[in-house]
Structure 1
């Protein structure tokens, strides 16, 4: 027994190390990292090295635990501003979008696999949600710099659509196992959904408060803080699930609340959970890879691949378009959201449910979902950045490379200790002064430490430590990272003209309207108009459609006030010649422009004070 334990531990450790080392190769060649983890599990499984693992119940428990850790970390790293900006479109995608995806996909399952409608709906629910681990990894680590509005929508959707997919899967498994058919989808079905989501939201919020309160009261040992946070997060997850709520929604909400409050040892907790999330992803994908039997795939390979392509090119795009129709997304942005619908470990986790529930086609559900996940990670995971570039969504960076470490201070200090490495061509290296509100204390140069007052002029490679209040840290980021000017190639993104943000919005209306401003907007400046139509806070590279042009935020000052606005006169080159992915406002614009064309009324293209971009 003891020898068997050591052998098991040895094999498990080797697999985890192989996954960790393979990540370095994946980073170098741009391979979808989660596909690499899954492939290692397949290679070590029964058809590879011969490791036999078929405990579906254990795999489900391990996967659920790992997913809870991933969702808490995902919420912990989501700013409340990002959530507020993306809440409505993301939650619509996470609820209506999942239901639409599952329903449309059910048609394909009936066609390619001969399933009944309920069986097709079950398989659609299994693959209906995007994978939080895959989406967060690709967007946060993959170097894809897109508009915050689009990025936040994708991140919040991936974190909130799992509860909907899990609920639909479990409910449909119970309905099919009972043999009641459509009769099982009664009012109790809807009440169960309301109960799970309501309890998940309530106890997620209360759980987040509990985590913050507990960590701010027990500040004696910093090394215990990450353990407290992890244990309390799992307490929220398990307690909410035990009383009939959605534990996955609760742990995600708790992460959002805790991550946006001042909390003891916050940086230590963030670093700990970042590493733990990597471990959770590796274990989850390897376990699911071990669980699969590739020798069973050939018999269903063609219909499963056809279903994967149907999901990628039909079901997901239609569901996303219909869900985002009321919101201000361009055709390119909606198309990108539709493409970033990666299926991952959550779909494999849910595919275990038909087996646990004893359904007749349980193994068929699992193998089909597994192949769909492999195709999704291979096709979408490898092409997300090229697709973003093709659609013109890559935002030119504001800053160059930055090397920063934030350190926690004991107690409830209002200041934080931040360390920067002085980068080449950074503003501070070119002579910019460090602001008075920042308190530099130490400089490390060539391995030697010295007080800032005696260090003289900062040099490239210096490590400088400063005390600063949290809200001002992002201002220091700009000081210690080289600013990247707008290149000529970026004119397609930012427009070839600029307009003064302080000009009256009525001048803009006269030139590119008229009649597009409400009574309240007529009293605004152009900057105020763009800010108002951006949801109350303008961000770098925000784009606002106004009549026949698009206004683009080119630059902001340190107080986030718009300093420069670009105008694109030919802003909307269709992402596709098909009339899809356009929102309601765009439809109205196209109808109006078409009517003007028929009436012979020219669209004005001048009248606003504009300057050529230097």
Structure 2
């Protein structure tokens, strides 16, 4: 029992230290997940002396933590965001992982004196981006970029783990058996199809099951998040047992369940947010404890060289090849290439060669660990400056807002929201609350009063309102503080504005001719943008037409485009080198060169 208490004391102390380190990370801008790893290293066998060497236990614990993180990642991804970035994201998650593994494997072969198969195995281990690292940076790091780019990164990081896991497990099996890659080619293809197919199918079925049970079974409010978590892990485990990709299945189940109306949704999201933080802390701490830093100096130089090669060459080249057919600007492709953080997934996969009793098992682990630390240090510290340098930070539409949702009992078709009235907010300046929102209660200086008798709202009042589901964002602007207008807003949204009700023919006449086809000329500018975007437009969405860019500056309460900005210099190149251009830009460049030669 004394040993049990000592282990519990040490474990909880490490978790508390990791949790408190978030304050340090916020103050100095340090990558938080890197701090979790460093705390684990400091507490390990070469630090405070905690001797943890249970590779199989670490792999199982890390797999469960990763499943929890992926389910929460899918749960927080809107269906619209997934749709608009699904094809490029899935291309990155499959071909991108394969290209990265091949390029990195070639470098590893020469720097570590590996065989081609061993180099490809190490490349597969570090080929996927880390969902925890990417989601943390984009969702909680204060980086407000275009939804299309954000969705691409989030969906890619949530779906590329199955490909990396498949490649790593398959190569470990091939190397351990002594077979060649050629003899196992067809079997590998069939295994891949089986894992991905079962992952997608059972993930969708699992999402349907989660929603059905939560809606039909009378579950206590406090038990609902437990039911959801248990069902999600059940989907993960069952899919893995029958040979599918459990990680893909749990992510798909999260997307389906998160986009359905579930009664205690606010409680589920709050529970999952806390649990995801705990899963990240535990996973990074355990993997940090598993490492032996005293072994790092033997391979530090080639490992750091490989990490820099991955960050600066392998990942950018793989991303560029995958995004060539899609309409991403040079700056957007460059940003996607840079936000390819490696994390716990790579370290977790590096345990497989040890469990497979490969000759260089510990070398794979140590190299992957150093690569992850360098990636988190370089990319984690520079993501926001790079986004600002590339002009991808979207100016805020509204200022700061203090809002939280409350769950209603039963199956009420309303949402209950509470807003704290912010300084300089429109509602404080006298703007009326819409009729479809029903204010019920105001709390002022600790006293409760009915809205009708509260008089004019005051700063810091807490206002409770009943609204129809899905309309909360329309109220946000009323209770938000005044937006801080940046110096580069005009540069981002274009210097001029045009009426979205004007026709495409007028646009072609003004900025063409030959800008639009005859069919497009008959559409209004708003209809043309909706068609090109493939769905309902959102704030800051961009549509490139020839050499101009149309930008959504403002939408109305119905989601229709209200104001459109136009930029005559759509995307100034990030560099003078022809890096990260898409097919359309390459063809346009060839035409410009030919025109210049003729001139």
TM-score scaled by structure 2? 0.98
589-598 or 418-427, larger mean C-alpha shift: 589-598
Is the contact made by 2:399 and 2:484 (CA closer than 8 Å) also made in structure 1?
no
Question: Helix, strand or coil for the counterpart of 1:464?
Answer: strand
Residues 233-244 of structure 1 aligned to structure 2 (within 5 Å): 233-244=232-243
Mapped pair 1:192 → 2:191:
yes
Structure 1 equivalent of residue 108 of structure 2: 109
Structure 2 equivalent of residue 436 of structure 1: 435
Structure 2 equivalent of residue 136 of structure 1: 135
Mapped pair 1:585 → 2:584:
yes
Is the contact made by 2:74 and 2:252 (CA closer than 8 Å) also made in structure 1?
yes
Aligned in 2, Cα 1:184/1:447: closer, same or farther, shift over 3 Å?
farther
Report deviation, 1:245.
Answer: 0.4
Q: Distance in 1 between matches of 2:598 and 2:484?
A: 43
Question: Helix, strand or coil for the counterpart of 1:204?
Answer: helix
184-193 or 479-488, larger mean C-alpha shift: 479-488
Question: Helix, strand or coil for the counterpart of 1:130?
Answer: coil
Q: Distance in 2 between matches of 1:208 and 1:562?
A: 33
Q: Distance in 2 between matches of 1:513 and 1:61?
A: 60
Is the contact made by 2:408 and 2:415 (CA closer than 8 Å) also made in structure 1?
yes
Structure 2: state its 5+ residue gaps. Answer: none
121-130 or 587-596, larger mean C-alpha shift: 587-596
553-562 or 367-376, larger mean C-alpha shift: 553-562
Residues 89-104 of structure 1 aligned to structure 2 (within 5 Å): 89-104=88-103
Report deviation, 1:486.
Answer: 4.9
Report deviation, 1:193.
Answer: 0.3
Structure 2 equivalent of residue 336 of structure 1: 335
Aligned in 2, Cα 1:226/1:541: closer, same or farther, shift over 3 Å?
same
Report deviation, 1:482.
Answer: 3.2
Residues 407-422 of structure 1 aligned to structure 2 (within 5 Å): 407-422=406-421
Structure 2 equivalent of residue 182 of structure 1: 181
Alpha-carbon displacement from aligned partner over 1:164-191 (angstroms, at most 9, x marks no partner):
1001100010011010122343211100
Alpha-carbon displacement from aligned partner over 1:386-421 (angstroms, at most 9, x marks no partner):
000010100100010011111111121110110000
Is the contact made by 1:320 and 1:337 (CA closer than 8 Å) also made in structure 2?
yes
Alpha-carbon RMSD: 1.1
Residues 188-227 of structure 1 aligned to structure 2 (within 5 Å): 188-227=187-226
Structure 2 equivalent of residue 86 of structure 1: 85
Structure 1: state its 5+ residue gaps. Answer: 601-614
Is the contact made by 2:46 and 2:292 (CA closer than 8 Å) also made in structure 1?
yes
Q: Distance in 2 between matches of 1:156 and 1:414?
A: 30
Question: Helix, strand or coil for the counterpart of 1:554?
Answer: strand
Structure 2 equivalent of residue 287 of structure 1: 286
Structure 2 equivalent of residue 548 of structure 1: 547
Q: Distance in 1 between matches of 2:281 and 2:122?
A: 25
Q: Distance in 1 between matches of 2:566 and 2:593?
A: 22
Is the contact made by 2:204 and 2:256 (CA closer than 8 Å) also made in structure 1?
yes
Aligned length: 599
Q: Distance in 2 between matches of 1:180 and 1:571?
A: 53
Q: Distance in 2 between matches of 1:145 and 1:44?
A: 35
Question: Helix, strand or coil for the counterpart of 2:396?
Answer: coil
Aligned in 2, Cα 1:325/1:165: closer, same or farther, shift over 3 Å?
same
Alpha-carbon displacement from aligned partner over 1:263-318 (angstroms, at most 9, x marks no partner):
12111011001000000000000000000000000010000000000000000000
Q: Distance in 1 between matches of 2:336 and 2:469?
A: 32
Q: Distance in 2 between matches of 1:373 and 1:328?
A: 30
Structure 2 equivalent of residue 606 of structure 1: none
Question: Helix, strand or coil for the counterpart of 2:182?
Answer: helix
TM-score scaled by structure 1? 0.96
Structure 2 equivalent of residue 566 of structure 1: 565
